Structure 1
């Protein structure tokens, strides 16, 4: 029989033994080559930057030499006028020197100057001149020959003024008058301006302002701070020097011991440059030292915290306990946003209009009627949300994850509503109520939670220690209310002055004394007030308003 022979061809032994992955040595060689390429590119970039800088500097030197060549070529046509290339000075010599006892130049001198000066100005106003020349200063003669302008004959009053104030013609003309001006004595300067006919737009008066600021910054803390109102007034009237002067003042105040809040300095800087921590204002604040910028940022955050818990509070009822609590964390707050309800957003009240202007770039739209507003703080990994309404809890979200709301869109207040600030997936939910979870005061509970969960601590130390009840059996013990009744009885012997009962009055009273209102009347229940039951004054006021005390529960009516 004939069969078909099947031959299976096998690869060579060397093919089977070839590894699929490259060897370790080849891998290291490839990485080394890649490293050398990256380093070479980086070195080329650095070398290129250095080379370009050197080229610009060299071109600038060439341009200076070129403009001096043109000045020199022009000066050669006028006998007596020289160019000092080392000092960058045009020396007119006798061509611009008044004769002794004379106030007019000779005709030939006038003719030379009338021809030479326009030629120099033409060169200065050309493309090269505009690129090189920063300013032209005329100086020298009167400082060295000040007394020669007087002769034996009676002269005009300006001559005596010029001789008496010889320092006006040197390189620091304003320095001798600083101490007088800082004391508020402007009589000497007024006389100089009148006699020498110095106009209000003169560079001299602008330089006087800056010299006063510079002089004040060299004084001690107390004297400098006492002069701040005057300095800020000067800068407010001089827009040209306001940037430079404000930088000097802020940097100096940041070195004042403790750098206490200065509202006028804060408002001056924020009005002129805007919010210091907004990226859009980074260029305006760029010249200020980091310490001074941080100082103003903290001041502004303090003002915003106070404003939210007072002016933007529900029904105008100031919540001072929440305000004082968050003020202690001002240095931990990285960013602030305000979600404003319809009232705060649209009100034409002067205070709210001014407030919205100061909050520019920080306000967001909140779809809520009335006085409902929200205060959003970013503190490291925590996004904290407080609400203006007294009965709202505190919400905390993880900043390292995607937030359940977008502040660039209209925000809501409904529970788990789309883009709502109140979401079930929050990290923290804390109520502003005393006696919760074994804590005597809600502030202590908040502080412990922020410290333990986020390592956020108050920047202002407090002398009182956090007090927490120790054991469950102690909390279960009945509380004696005899002291309260005694306090209530003793308080009847004193004249108590409080407003008549109303719901608004109750809210105001609760906010002042840290009480919590629990209104269950809508479902057929009672109106409860919960808080410090040991305070006799609170019990007396509520009793006068018709409330009844229930030990361990609070007051009801």
Structure 2
């Protein structure tokens, strides 16, 4: 190789100096985080053999040997079998589910107590079985043995060897010894919700607690429990975190959502929470539709009414903001119908071609919210026209999105259109049919706003059909709902049925049976209990019958 020229030699020296300076200013690498990620990855990708330092095949060999002899012959055998309590083999249950061999296994492991470090390794293997076995899906003696194992680990934790350089997992379980008690995760609830810490990362890294471990489920439940126990102010403060938590845990979400909704309904003020409303309606569907009873009966009836009002308010606002033309007048219509939201028992939406096919996210979200009550509007004039159809007491009211259209009122018993169809006409053959009982134009008359005329119309029509008195004050979604009148205030003709219902609902509550009562809509009283459960005979005696298709009991009339 030819020697470098003086010019190239100077260039080489400059590059060397620059490189040295760059490394001089570079901090020493912190490998602790990398080590943690490696351990977490091992826990997720490897079986029991990863912690035992051996393959699952070798562990299975020792498991077979222990089953045959009932003995752990040496330290290696004890360590491998300790890490294999969750492993199943053909025709054999896992040791943690074996009612005959699990207790002898613990006795055999006890024989290694005189060897502190080997015993500590065995204890760690048993801990892996405890952390990653799901008692909720236990087979055989699994649940009982899991509890025995918890007690064994808890009793022997203080005796583990701690001299010298203790392993990270031992420090972790010392800090989280509550995991070995009957109340393993309550301490984490408020701590995580308020952002004071995240023990899950430590448990995953140092104790190999995978995402499928029961610990994750218990921590979820602990956070929900902590949230619903907070006072109103703190509960509202953490609600965005709780909603995010629910959305991240699909399997556990329904139980958590029901508790959060019921807690919100107990707040002194129950104004609309858009995120909570959207999450609940997205998961459970429209709250006022009977076909969604299965999930909506997870919450109390007053809670369901609260979300129904929220959902109606959202639909009213979105209809007049997104699906109508006259922005100024539509703000007046929004305010008008919001005052009547608690009297609206049902809603339907007939969308013109433009709104039905609009690809924008806001329109897609609106169509999703209208699911189950949406149809196509034909003969509505321009393609941008849409119709909003509401039922109040014995009448149906129709509003249109395009300006220049009046509001029409129809007798619900004599509708000239069918709301169960996929489409409806927006002309005189249907939504503007001459059989309407009233028509109001959204123009102010001499000295009177159109809202006053519409208020009188709704009040008079509701009273004429014996419907509820219509209130024009703030609806109940912003304050505590008033209590139902006491039985003594009702007519004597309904007294006996009220008494029977009270006794029936007391029985259902005693047995923890969820119900859905649609009798006031011409439907049935449904009781969600197992077909052959402990309450089956009593339900049959009380004139309930089993509906196979729905998987529930209904009260025969």
TM-score by length of 1: 0.59
Q: Per the alignment, in what secondary structure is the counterpart of residue 313 of structure 1?
A: coil
Distance across 2 between alignment mates of 1:435 and 1:423: 24
Q: How large is the RMSD of aligned CA atoms in angstroms?
A: 3.5
C-alpha distance 224-100 of structure 1, shift in aligned 2 (>3 A): farther
Match of residue 63 from structure 1: none
How is 1:490-509 mapped onto 2 (pairs within 5 angstroms)?
none
How is 1:166-245 mapped onto 2 (pairs within 5 angstroms)?
166-245=177-256
Instruction: Tell me by how many angstroms 1:279 deviates.
Output: 2.2
Choose 1 or 2 for highest CA Rg: 1
Q: Per the alignment, in what secondary structure is the counterpart of residue 348 of structure 2?
A: strand
Match of residue 440 from structure 1: 448
Match of residue 331 from structure 2: 320
Contact 1:315 1:371 in 2 (8 A): no
Match of residue 374 from structure 1: 387
Deviations 1:356-384 (A, max 9, x none): 11111111111133211111101111111
Contact 1:340 1:366 in 2 (8 A): yes
C-alpha distance 183-403 of structure 1, shift in aligned 2 (>3 A): same
Match of residue 498 from structure 2: none
Match of residue 142 from structure 1: 153
Q: Per the alignment, in what secondary structure is the counterpart of residue 461 of structure 1?
A: coil
For the pair 1:158 / 2:169, whether they are aligned, the reply is yes
Contact 1:310 1:318 in 2 (8 A): no
C-alpha distance 210-89 of structure 1, shift in aligned 2 (>3 A): farther
C-alpha distance 90-259 of structure 1, shift in aligned 2 (>3 A): farther
C-alpha distance 410-175 of structure 1, shift in aligned 2 (>3 A): closer
Match of residue 269 from structure 1: 280
Q: Per the alignment, in what secondary structure is the counterpart of residue 425 of structure 2?
A: coil
Instruction: Tell me by how many angstroms 1:247 deviates.
Output: 0.9
Deviations 1:186-208 (A, max 9, x none): 35443343222222332212321
Contact 2:117 2:161 in 1 (8 A): no
Match of residue 405 from structure 1: 417
Q: Per the alignment, in what secondary structure is the counterpart of residue 423 of structure 2?
A: coil
Distance across 2 between alignment mates of 1:187 and 1:228: 18
Q: Per the alignment, in what secondary structure is the counterpart of residue 309 of structure 1?
A: helix
Match of residue 434 from structure 2: 424
Contact 2:189 2:225 in 1 (8 A): no
C-alpha distance 320-99 of structure 1, shift in aligned 2 (>3 A): same
C-alpha distance 90-305 of structure 1, shift in aligned 2 (>3 A): same
How is 1:342-421 mapped onto 2 (pairs within 5 angstroms)?
342-367=353-378, 368=380, 369-399=382-412, 401-407=413-419, 408-415=421-428, 417=429, 420-421=430-431
Distance across 2 between alignment mates of 1:155 and 1:265: 46
Contact 1:338 1:364 in 2 (8 A): yes
Contact 1:342 1:370 in 2 (8 A): yes
Alignment length, in residue pairs?
362
Match of residue 331 from structure 1: 342
Deviations 1:382-412 (A, max 9, x none): 111111122222111112x231111215311
Contact 2:349 2:374 in 1 (8 A): yes
Q: Residue 246 of structure 1: which of 218, 234, 257 is its match?
A: 257
Instruction: Tell me by how many angstroms 1:294 deviates.
Output: 1.1
Match of residue 454 from structure 1: 462
C-alpha distance 281-441 of structure 1, shift in aligned 2 (>3 A): same
Contact 2:386 2:401 in 1 (8 A): yes
Deviations 1:271-309 (A, max 9, x none): 111111122222122211112111111101001111111
For the pair 1:99 / 2:107, whether they are aligned, the reply is no
Match of residue 12 from structure 2: none
Q: Residue 321 of structure 2: which of 292, 310, 320 is its match?
A: 310
Distance across 1 between alignment mates of 2:232 and 2:195: 19
C-alpha distance 396-148 of structure 1, shift in aligned 2 (>3 A): same
Distance across 2 between alignment mates of 1:170 and 1:204: 12
How is 1:72-87 mapped onto 2 (pairs within 5 angstroms)?
none
C-alpha distance 89-358 of structure 1, shift in aligned 2 (>3 A): farther
Bigger relative CO (Cα 8 Å, ≥ 6 apart)? 2
